[in-house]
């Protein structure tokens, strides 16, 4: 066995394979790291996925793994279909920099021409599905579609030169705070709180709950916390605003926006 290990390590072909595997998995690793980082991520995930596939295609072009690219693409897309949801499409479609003319003139990794979000059929379908879930009635859903058309066709305030210049230089939250009323989560803290709640409910000593039961308890606990924000005690008691970090300006602002929307 030792001889086999030594021969493998000293083999040039082994290290060539290692180099190829590392190069192919690097875009996947960077994509995963990007999603796990801080900042406004949801609006960029769709484009990052396309870029990742293009980078893998560029890496495999001309080497012995070129014929395996379609198999890799199929595996990645199958995973993406499990994770993708209408909200990803909506966030992508509402990211202003992806409509910039100069950006659209560049080629994406893999040599594919870039397209505006509203030119992707699956994105438009996702946006319509998101509107259907968000709207309380058909009139509100119609209003959302009209406002989306105004945005991506750059009408009204979106046609102003400052709005189009800032679409490239500002992040999506700053841009919408200036020219609109949209916002999105900028960290994974919400998901982390859900997992923290789950670990509180389902732990080593209390481990006989099935997934459905545990999920319902997490849902109830999380929404009870949200409802408690509308009690006067949440503003006046010694333990006021107990569920947010007072030093985190974003969490404080998000709390204000949530209360404003509700």
CB atoms within 10 A of CB 34: 14
With pLDDT > 70 as the criterion, what percentage of the chain qualifies?
79
Q: Checking phi first, is residue 61 left (phi over 0); if not, alpha (psi -120 to 50) or beta?
A: beta
C-alpha 43/C-alpha 258 separation (Å) is 19
C-alpha 107/C-alpha 110 separation (Å) is 8
C-alpha 213/C-alpha 217 separation (Å) is 6
Amino acid 159: pLDDT: 86
Amino acid 186: pLDDT: 43
Amino acid 245: pLDDT: 58
* Each residue's pLDDT tens digit, 52-109: 999 999 988 888 888 888 898 899 888 888 777 888 888 899 988 899 888 888 888 8
What is the three-class DSSP state of 171? Answer: coil
Nearest of 185, 109, 123 to residue 152 by alpha carbon: 123
Mean pLDDT of 231-240: 70
* Whether residue 121 has pLDDT greater than 80: yes
C-alpha 151/C-alpha 77 separation (Å) is 29
- Contact residues for 230 (Cβ-Cβ < 8 A; gap 6+): 259, 262
- The number of CA neighbours under 13 Å toward the Cβ of 20 is 16
Amino acid 188: pLDDT: 44
C-alpha 85/C-alpha 90 separation (Å) is 9
Amino acid 111: pLDDT: 83
Amino acid 202: pLDDT: 66
Torsion on CA atoms 223, 227, 228, 234, rounded to nearest 10: 130
* Whether residue 200 has pLDDT greater than 60: yes
Ranked by mean pLDDT, the top range of 21-30, 177-186, 196-205, 215-224 is 21-30
* Whether residue 131 has pLDDT greater than 70: yes
Amino acid 182: pLDDT: 45
* Each residue's pLDDT tens digit, 161-195: 888 888 888 888 888 888 875 444 444 444 445 55
First to last CA, the chain: 66
How much is the mean pLDDT over the chain?
Answer: 78
Contact 54, 109 (CB under 8 A): yes
Amino acid 26: pLDDT: 92
Q: CA distances (Å), 64 to each of 21, 58, 70, 133, 143, in order?
A: 11, 13, 13, 46, 52
Q: CA distances (Å), 22 to each of 47, 61, 65, 93, in order?
A: 22, 15, 13, 32
The confidence band for 251, taking pLDDT boundaries of 50, 70 and 90, is low
118 vs 43, which has greater pLDDT?
118
């Amino acid at each position: 066995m030792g001889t086999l290990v030594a021969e493998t390590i000293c083999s040039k072909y082994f290290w060539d394979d290692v180099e190829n595997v590392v190069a192919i998995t690097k875009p996947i690793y960077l994509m995963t790291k990007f999603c796990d980082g801080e900042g406004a991520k949801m609006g960029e995930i769709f484009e990052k996925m396309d870029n990742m596939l293009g980078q893998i295609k560029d890496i495999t072009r001309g080497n012995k793994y070129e014929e395996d690219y379609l198999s890799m693409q199929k595996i990645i897309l199958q995973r993406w279909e499990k994770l993708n949801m209408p909200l990803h499409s909506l966030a992508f479609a509402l990211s202003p920099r992806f409509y910039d003319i100069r950006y659209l003139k560049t080629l994406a990794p893999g040599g594919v021409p870039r397209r505006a979000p509203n030119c992707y059929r699956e994105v438009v379908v996702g946006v319509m599905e998101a509107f259907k879930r968000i709207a309380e009635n058909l009139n509100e859903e119609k209003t959302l579609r009209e406002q989306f058309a105004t945005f991506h066709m750059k009408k009204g305030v979106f046609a102003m030169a400052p709005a189009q210049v800032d679409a490239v230089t500002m992040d999506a939250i700053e841009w919408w705070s200036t020219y609109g009323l949209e916002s999105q989560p900028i960290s994974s803290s919400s998901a982390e709180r859900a997992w923290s709640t789950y670990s509180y409910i389902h732990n080593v000593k209390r481990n006989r709950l099935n997934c459905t039961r545990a999920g319902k308890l997490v849902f109830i606990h999380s929404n009870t916390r949200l409802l408690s924000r509308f009690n006067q005690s949440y503003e006046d008691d010694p333990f006021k605003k107990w569920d947010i970090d007072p030093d985190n300006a974003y969490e404080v602002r998000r709390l204000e926006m949530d209360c404003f929307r509700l």
